[in-house]
Every structure is written in C-alpha cells, then in structure tokens.
Amino acid sequence: MNNLILIGFMGAGKTTAGKLLAREKKMRFLDTDERISSEQGREIRDIFAEDGEAYFRNLETELLERMQEDTAGAVISVGGGMPVRKRNRELLQSLGCVVYLSASKQTILGRVQGDKSRPLLSGDNLEKKVEQLLKDREAIYRLTAHVEVRTDGRSIHQVMKIIDQETRKYM
C-alpha cells in the first residue's frame, strides 16, 4: 500500500492535512472532489444541482476505479460521502491505507459555518444536517478505515504526527 487516503466528514481536515502530509512525505496530493470538478468543468455544487447526488456518486466510483490503475505514491483526500457506497469502500481499501479523520459535531460546525460550497449542508438548520449526516456516516467511516485519528483540539501538526505514527505499519 503506497497511497495514503484521508476520509471523514466535511470540515474534518482532510484537505489541509493531506496537502501538508504530501509535502512532508514528498508524495503527490490528490483531492477527488477537485479532480471530479476539473473533469466535469464545473463545481461540485453545480453537479449536485444540475444532475443530482446519484450522478455525482457515480462519478466518484468511476474515478476510484480509474485510480486503481493510475495512482501510486499519493496522499488522497476524498469527499465526505465517498465511502457511503460499499463498492467505494472496497476500492478505497484496495487503493491504500485509509485514515479516518474524525471530529465532533461542534468542531465540524465551527469549520463549515458559512461555507456555501457544500451542497449537502446548504439551506437552513445546519446543525441538524451535520448531526444527521454524522450519525449516518460515522460507522461507515470506521468500517472503511485502517486507522482513526481524532482532530478535535489538535493542531494540524499534531494530527500529521499521529497519522505518520499510526500508518507506518501499512505503508
């Protein structure tokens, strides 16, 4: 396993940690949402609005299938909903060491408040949406991950150090 895959809820720190880890480990950084957005020529929120969530989830699965063949030596940050599909969980696990960056509802709310780029959190009652999605996804994240790292109250450098220590046996 030579890829490091970061999963977790929106605002858990996947992109921030991923970019720094990639630089520190001299690996490529890939963000699946950015790659899908680039390939589609539009923002994720526009894909959701124009074609729906199911279409977007299909794009995620197709991307993961391609990555099995063409991706090595990368730190990969994936969209928060990617592990929801069973097929995606299998693909993620075969792609490399999967790290679940977990955070409390309060931490996530503090990080995503006012962010208009997240289609599943748009509209009213952000707290209730976050609470429900966390409830729906936490067990799936744990089922998918080789390692779980809590990000609450930790600096990005503390999180990176824990990821490095916990993933050595998988890399």
pLDDT recorded at residue 117 = 54
How far apart, in whole angstroms, are the C-alpha atoms of residue 36 and residue 24?
Answer: 25
SS3 (DSSP) at 100: strand
Looking from the CA of 169 toward its CB, the CA atoms found within 13 Å total: 4
Q: What is the pTM of this model?
A: 0.89
pLDDT band with cut points at 50, 70 and 90 for residue 50: very high
Q: Which helix (H) or strand (E) holds 95?
A: helix 86-95
pLDDT recorded at residue 2 = 87
pLDDT recorded at residue 89 = 97
pLDDT recorded at residue 116 = 56
Summarize the confidence of residues 14-24 as an average pLDDT: 93
Each residue's pLDDT tens digit, 134-171? 899 999 999 999 999 999 989 989 999 999 999 988 87
Each domain of the chain, given as residue ranges in start order, spans 4-165
Sheet strands (E) in 13-65: 28-31
Each residue's pLDDT tens digit, 76-130? 999 999 999 999 999 999 999 999 999 988 888 876 665 555 545 555 676 787 7
How far apart, in whole angstroms, are the C-alpha atoms of residue 71 and residue 165?
Answer: 23
How far apart, in whole angstroms, are the C-alpha atoms of residue 97 and residue 5?
Answer: 6
Summarize the confidence of residues 37-49 as an average pLDDT: 93
pLDDT recorded at residue 12 = 87
Is the pLDDT at 34 greater than 80? The verdict is: yes
Each residue's pLDDT tens digit, 63-88? 999 999 999 999 999 999 999 999 99
Is the pLDDT at 1 greater than 90? The verdict is: no
| CATH architecture of structural domain 4-165 | 3-Layer(aba) Sandwich (3.40)
Cβ-contact 147, 98 below 8 angstroms = yes
